[in-house]
Copies of this chain bind each other. A is one copy, B any other.
Amino acid sequence: MKKILAISASLLLMAGAMSAQELANFNFGGRGVPAPSPQIQNDSVTFRLRAEYATEVRISGSWMANPYGAGEMMRRNANNVWEYKCPLPSPEIYTYNFIVDGTAVNDPQNILVQRDGTRFLNMLIVPGERTENYGEANQRGTVRYMWYDSPSLGLNRRMVVYTPYGYENNPKAKYPVLYLLHGGGGDEEAWTSMGRAAQILDNLIEKGLAKPMIVVMPNGNAGQQAAATLNVATKQVSEQNAYVNSLVKEIIPFIEKNFRAIPKADSRAIAGLSMGGGHTLSATALYPGTFGYICPLSIGSQRSEQLDAQLQGIKKAGYKLYWFGCGKEDFLWQSAQQLDAALTANGLEHTFFVSDGGHVWANWRLYLNTFAQLLFK
């Protein structure tokens, strides 16, 4: 039998070789021998791209002073490879791409890619304390892409659901649930792709810093069935709170039926960034007492009598934690300060977590990594 398997193994090698050959033959524009990129060496990082026939190659990176600008020029090195070397930015996850004669291109040497709508951007992960929970943990949960019916929106829709390590092996254990909402322009994959939510929860739970929890990441664009890359239906939804109503009346029951979720306010948290922070404010205003943990991120609200009434409703219904975060350079910084003042004036105990920076994923990862440690305790 050994010999037979050896024969079939040689076929496997042929198959493997052919596949590699296909790859090698595929037109990469004469890329030839790969040029490692990005390459971190001590305090610098070097990016490289083989683009023989290009006249001008730039790199645009989120760590640059103007991340939306024209980027920095790359230079041809002695091996005819375009190169850009810069000081290593501080520990964080950055995105970048190359611009070859005016056209944005991904780094064919970098295996780390995130999706932002229909843009695919390479990631540079700079190791350090800030990013230690953004990499792979040893004990990892399950990430599910699943579909649920929303009769109120008239759509079968997709959501992403994370269950923690051990969920499968502890069939009697019940878990609290965090409803984690994305921002404008995002979709149900935003928190796992750009937000590293699965890695952050895996690491926090493995270290005993967060309670094992289920994380539900629905699509907050009420007319969209699923992420734009899926080529499924979209429709107009004009009713203002359509998504928030669906979240509370359809998504929560679906989760509490299909997962071993604890169906109590004290075991439900809601958090969201930007538009999802608005959804968090609306959901807790319209359905006080549903969520014990309330975490709007990078959002605020103008002070008004109605806001006061809303907050009194939340206070009366009771909650365990009101935690919200905003960056000092966020364009919503002033409105976040107003929410802080309104919470104080209305006597709602809360934490206002103030960070540097603006309306960016660096902050949302930081916030999740911070407030997740406070939930369900």
Contact = CB atoms under 8 A, between A and B. Distances in A.
Interface of A: 1, 3-9, 11-12, 14-20, 22-23, 25-31, 49, 51-56, 60, 67-71, 99-106, 108-113, 117-120, 125, 135-136, 138-147, 156, 158, 165, 168-169, 183-186, 228-232, 240-241, 257-258, 274-275, 277-278, 281-282, 285-286, 298-302, 304, 306-307, 309-310, 331-332, 335, 359
Contact of A228 (B7, B111, B302): B111
Nearest to A98: B103
Contacts of A103: 29, 49, 51, 53-54, 100, 103, 105
Contacts of A17: 184
Given A29-B103, A54-B103, 19 more contacts: A4-B304, A4-B310, A5-B241, A6-B240, A7-B306, A7-B307, A11-B301, A15-B298, A19-B185, A19-B274, A26-B60, A27-B69, A27-B71, A103-B105, A111-B229, A112-B229, A139-B156, A142-B144, A143-B146
Contacts of A275: 12, 15-16, 19
Contact of A53 (B55, B118, B186, B232): B55
A30 to B, nearest CB: 6
Name which of A29, A113, A257, A301 has the most chain B CB atoms within 10 A of its CB: A29
Q: What is the count of identical protomers in the complex?
A: 2
Contacts of A136: 230-232
A302 B298 CA distance: 64
Contacts of A231: 111-112, 125, 135-136
A102 B30 contact: yes
A101 B19 contact: no
Given A52-B102, A53-B56, A332 B11 contact: yes
Nearest to A226: B136
Contact of A138 (B104, B156, B282): B156
Given A29-B99, A101-B53, A4 B285 contact: yes
7 contacts: A4-B304, A7-B307, A12-B184, A18-B274, A104-B108, A135-B231, A168-B258
Contacts of A277: 15
Given A99-B27, A108-B118, A306-B3, A9 B278 contact: yes
A276 B118 CA distance: 31
Contacts of A306: 1, 3-4, 7
Contact of A51 (B14, B102, B110, B286): B102
Q: Which of A8, A53, A141 has the most CB of B within 10 A?
A: A8
A328 to B, nearest CB: 16
Contacts of A110: 118
Nearest to A62: B26
Contacts of A309: 1, 4
A15 B272 CA distance: 12
Contacts of A125: 231
Most B CB contacts (10 A, CB to CB) among A18, A143, A228 go to A18
B29 A102 contact: yes
A200 to B, nearest CB: 15
A18 B310 contact: no
Nearest to A123: B231
Contacts of A69: 27
B119 A60 contact: no
